Amino acid sequence: MPVAWTRHLRPLGVVYDCMDELSAFKFAPPELVEREAELFRRADLVFTGGQSLYEAKRGKHPHVYAFPSGIDREHFGRARGVTNDPEDQAGIPHPRLGFFGVVDERFDLGLLDALARERPDWHFVIIGPVVKIDPAELPRGANVHYLGGKSYKELPEYLAGWDVATLLFARNEHTRYISPTKTPEYLAAGKPVVSTSIRDVVRPYGEMGVVRIADDAPAFVAAAEELMQAGDDPDWLARVDALLAQNTWDRTWARMSELIEGVAARRLAARAGSGALAARAKASKAGSFAAAGD
């Protein structure tokens, strides 16, 4: 939306960092699509926050690159060694199935309600602010626990106390292009994960067998039950770590930096060439004036 405030700028390069299909969100400004079209015309590079978003945008610009979210593996990896429960989670019985993130129109309230009813002996821990939906619509029950928002620093401590981490996303126009960062964060914590069939979770995590995919309560329960019964799986953890090692912030930034510096170098060279051409034209014109004076 702020693209209108930058029209007077003449930068060496413009990068559109496209992290979501915001026009599909609730209460999105109607002019958002038009502003994005302007940004496409002005941008030298477009980065997308996931593969599905890349596929949606690649036909709109000649230089679109997919950069799925990296994570701080060391930070979330702390969960593998944490033994103390945060105070507001400590009294919640096991098994615990957890979710952290914003609870908004992308969250599948119906699925959470069905899961809580189907397995009243399981406890569902929901961490995150409730945004753009009426809190009165949230599923309620003795086994559903809303702990509110937590700081980034605190998340590994909560993750450590879960038996299964979940991605309870609805499948609708709001989630069509999302690429949840929490997927690799959960995995870095060493937690088994069950997710609904969000495309950027199915590819690559589901296809590689490191995340279980389920879209209704019976399938979700069966997947979580199987994972909890299986217990620790060193082979699974080794595959997780190998996958996460391919997607570090350092590697992401190195490639981004290479692309950005390439644009800047070409623009500088073009400006230098234009400057030299203008200088020659000025010198030639000055010579003509001198000849006319003679």
79 and 204 part of one domain: yes
34 and 149 part of one domain: no
32 and 130 part of one domain: no
Compute the average pLDDT of residues 83-88.
94
112 and 237 part of one domain: yes
Host domain of residue 230: 73-244
The angle, 0 to 180 degrees and rounded to 10, between the axes of the packed helices 217-230 and 109-118 is 60
Contact (Cβ atoms closer than 8 angstroms) between residue 67 and residue 49: yes
**Residue that finishes a domain, picked among 244, 261, 282:** 244
**pLDDT for res 276:** 64
**Residue that finishes a domain, picked among 244, 260, 275:** 244
240 and 253 part of one domain: no
61: CB partners within 8 A, 6+ apart: 16, 40, 43, 46
169 and 198 part of one domain: yes
What is the secondary structure of 48-62 as a DSSP string?
ESSHHHHHHHGGG-S
Number of domains in the chain: 2
**Residue that finishes a domain, picked among 224, 244, 264:** 244
Answer yes or no: is pLDDT of 177 > 90. no
25 and 115 part of one domain: no
Number of H helices, E strands in the chain: 11, 9
Rounded-to-5 percentages of helix, strand, coil across the chain: 50, 15, 35
As a whole number, the mean pLDDT across the chain is 91
pTM of the model: 0.82
Compute the average pLDDT of residues 87-115.
96
pLDDT in tens, 5-31: 999 999 999 999 998 888 877 788 889
119 and 235 part of one domain: yes
Answer yes or no: is pLDDT of 206 > 80. yes
Answer yes or no: is pLDDT of 289 > 70. no
**Alpha carbon of 218 to those of 88, 193, 223: distances in Å?**
29, 16, 9
120 and 208 part of one domain: yes
Give the model's confidence band at 64: pLDDT under 50 very low, under 70 low, under 90 confident, else very high.
Answer: very high
pLDDT in tens, 116-155: 999 999 999 999 999 989 999 999 999 999 999 999 999 9
**pLDDT for res 291:** 53
Tell me how crowded residue 256 is: count the other CB atoms within 10 A of its CB.
16
Answer yes or no: is pLDDT of 44 > 70. yes
Q: What is the C-alpha to C-alpha distance for residues 131 and 143, in angstroms, rounded to an integer?
A: 22
Q: What is the C-alpha to C-alpha distance for residues 224 and 195, in angstroms, rounded to an integer?
A: 10
98 and 219 part of one domain: yes
**pLDDT for res 232:** 84
Answer yes or no: is pLDDT of 33 > 60. yes
Q: What is the C-alpha to C-alpha distance for residues 68 and 92, in angstroms, rounded to an integer?
A: 34
**pLDDT for res 94:** 97
138 and 278 part of one domain: no
Q: Which residues of 75-104 are buried (b: 16+ CB within 10 A; e: fewer)?
A: ebbbbeeeeeeeeebeebeeebbbbbbebe
59 and 150 part of one domain: no
CATH code of the domain covering residue 77: 3.40.50.2000
